Amino acid sequence: MYFRLMGKLNARRQGLLEEDEKGFTLIELLVVVIIIGILAAIAIPIYIGVQNNAKDASAKSDLANAKTAVVAYYTDKGSTATKPTFDSGSPTSLDTYGYTLSPGNSVPAFKSGSTPSPTSFCIQETSASGATAIFHIDQTNGAASGACP
C-alpha cells in the first residue's frame, strides 16, 4: 500500500512538472493579502496606543522636573520671590534650576488665577498625545490626570 501511494504521489508530481504550473494561484495571493490586512488592523492601533502612552509619560516627567525646579527656585529666592516662568531666557526662568522641556510637549503653566508659593502651587501640562490628555502636579503629590483642581 505504501508503494502504491508513493507511486501515485510521484505521478502527480511528475504531472505538475510537465504541465509547467509555476507560481501562486489567485486564491493563494488573496489569502495572503487578507492575512496581512488582519495583522495590520491589529498591530496599528496597538502601536498608536504605545506611542500615546510614551507621550503621556513624557509629559508627566516634565511635570516632575518642573516641580523640582519650582521648589529649588523658591528655596534659592525665598518665599517672597516673584512668580517663576517656564520661558527660557527670562530672569525668573526655571531653566537655571534644572527645568528642561521635552521635545513635542507643550509648555506647562501654573494654575490660572493663582499665585504660586513654596507651599502652594499647581502646574498643568497638555500631553503631545492630544488636547484631552492633561496632567497636573502640585506641591505634595505626583503627576495626575486632569487639570489643576
pLDDT digits (tens, 9 = 90+) for 70-86: 888 888 888 778 888 88
Of the chain, the percentage scoring pLDDT greater than 90 comes to 28
On the question of pLDDT at 35 being above 90, the answer is yes
> How confident is the prediction for the chain on average, in pLDDT?
85
Q: Are 66 and 123 in contact (CB under 8 A)?
A: yes
Residue 38 belongs to some domain of the structure: yes
Give the model's confidence band at 57: pLDDT under 50 very low, under 70 low, under 90 confident, else very high. very high
Please report the DSSP string for 57-109 in residue order: HHHHHHHHHHHHHHHHHHHHH-TTPPPPBS-TTSTTBGGGGT--PPTTPPPPE
Contacts of 109 (CB under 8 A, 6+ apart): 86, 123, 124, 125
Within a domain: 17: no
What residues make up the domain containing 79? 27-145
89 CB contacts (<8 Å, ≥6 apart)? Answer: 95
Residue 14 belongs to a domain: no
pTM: 0.70
CA 73-74-78 angle, to 5 degrees, is: 125
| pLDDT value, residue 131 | 67
- So what's the pLDDT on residue 16? 65
Query: Is residue 9 assigned to a domain?
Result: no
List the helix and strand counts (H, then E) for the chain.
Answer: 2, 4
Q: Nearest CA to 130 among 74, 35, 49?
A: 49
Q: How far apart are the first and last CA of the chain?
A: 83
Q: What angle do CA 101, 140, 109 make, to 5 degrees?
A: 35
Name which residue leads in pLDDT, 36 or 19: 36
What is the number of domains present in the chain? 1
> Is residue 18 domain-resident?
no
